[in-house]
Amino acid sequence: MDDKHGRLADFLQARRGQLRPEDVGLRTYDERRRVPGLRREELAMLAGISAPYYARLEQGQSRNASPEVLDAIAGALRLDDSERAHLHALARAPRRGGPAGRPQAEHLPEATGVLLAAIESTPAIVLGRRSDVLGWNGQGHALFAGHLDRGGPEDPGRRPNMARLVFLDAHTRDLYADWPAKARAVVGNLRLTAGRYPNDPLLAALIGELSMKSPEFARMWADHRIQACDTADYEMRHPLVGTLTVTQQTLQSPQGDGPALVVATAAPGSPSATALTLLAQALTPGTVPAYPLAPLAR
């Protein structure tokens, strides 16, 4: 992972390149432009700052942008709240100190494990900050990854990783009718995490692995799109219960630094709710899944 201020420069360049003059009300008088996006001086004008100062930011040569300047740039770039917070995180001065040691393995908090069991009738999984599956209840396992070993999350060395599954696992790819939408959400969320934890070597390794193994991931990562996966509707094509639409909600601590609980619900009385009920019935003791267990994807 490149240095934090290098990633700030990359973010600014990428997002400026995605804005066209007509998007922000600038007239071009049919002039030929070498690049499709806004020019640096145009973005600086929209933000109300000097062009040379903005150029230094984009080149990674300035590290003291005030919150007011960052907000002005965010407004000029048409960033939403999540993207604005990401911009501030990238611009924040790095902490002093020696190189970070290898992060400790994340674990499923005991209280969260009790919560998973208490909502057994609702599909739920717990994800760490790098999208490792720290735990799931029976319904969550059956809905999201029934082809994998139910006990996988219990062993840090064998835990499935949802980002890997979405991009590298054929079963998970087929599970989402609109796979690109799910993939973009995963990438956008990883971007947010990378902004919060710029020195996490395990996160950097995950991003590098996905960039090497998935051209689609590499292309989406280069867009610098940010997406907070709070609530989203997905049509899923499940091998046991057929097509259903669920709302996936991500619940996290107010500090945003703990594991996230992801729950899937369907509208009461809908065919999708019936499908989730059928999935729960398929989990009763003695029931044999309609598809065999596969080796755990890593």
CA distance 203 to 201: 5
Starting at the edge strand found earlier in the chain, the sheet holding 260-265 runs 133-136, 124-127, 260-265, 242-251, 231-238
Phi (first) and psi of residue 241, to 5 degrees: -120, 5
Q: How far is CA 169 from CA 144, 165, 218, 237, 296, in A?
A: 12, 5, 16, 15, 10
What the block records as the tokens of 120 is 């057994």
Instruction: Indicate the residue among 39, 59, 91 that finishes a domain.
Output: 91
Question: Residues 110-161: pLDDT tens digits?
Answer: 888 899 989 988 999 999 999 999 999 999 999 999 999 999 999 888 899 9
Choose among 110, 120, 68, 70: nearest CA to 90.
70
Q: Is-contact 221 258, C-beta < 8 A?
A: no
* CATH number, domain with residue 21: 1.10.260.40
Identify each DSSP E strand in 162-216 by its residue range: none
Are residues 12 and 67 both part of a single domain? yes
Residue 164 corresponds to which amino acid? R
Are residues 86 and 132 both part of a single domain? no
Please tell me the pTM assigned to this model. Answer: 0.77
Considering the domain boundaries, does residue 198 fall inside one?
yes
Least confident of 9-13, 166-170, 253-257: 253-257
Helix (H) or strand (E) run with residue 88 in it: helix 81-91
Full residue range of the structural domain in which residue 83 is found: 4-91
Q: Contacts from 21-26 at CB under 8 Å and sequence distance 24+?
A: 23/78, 24/76, 24/78
* Orientation angle between helical segments 67-76 and 81-91, nearest 10 degrees: 140
* CATH number, domain with residue 275: 3.30.450.180
pLDDT band per the 50, 70, 90 thresholds, residue 261 = very high
Are residues 83 and 118 both part of a single domain? no
Are residues 192 and 86 both part of a single domain? no
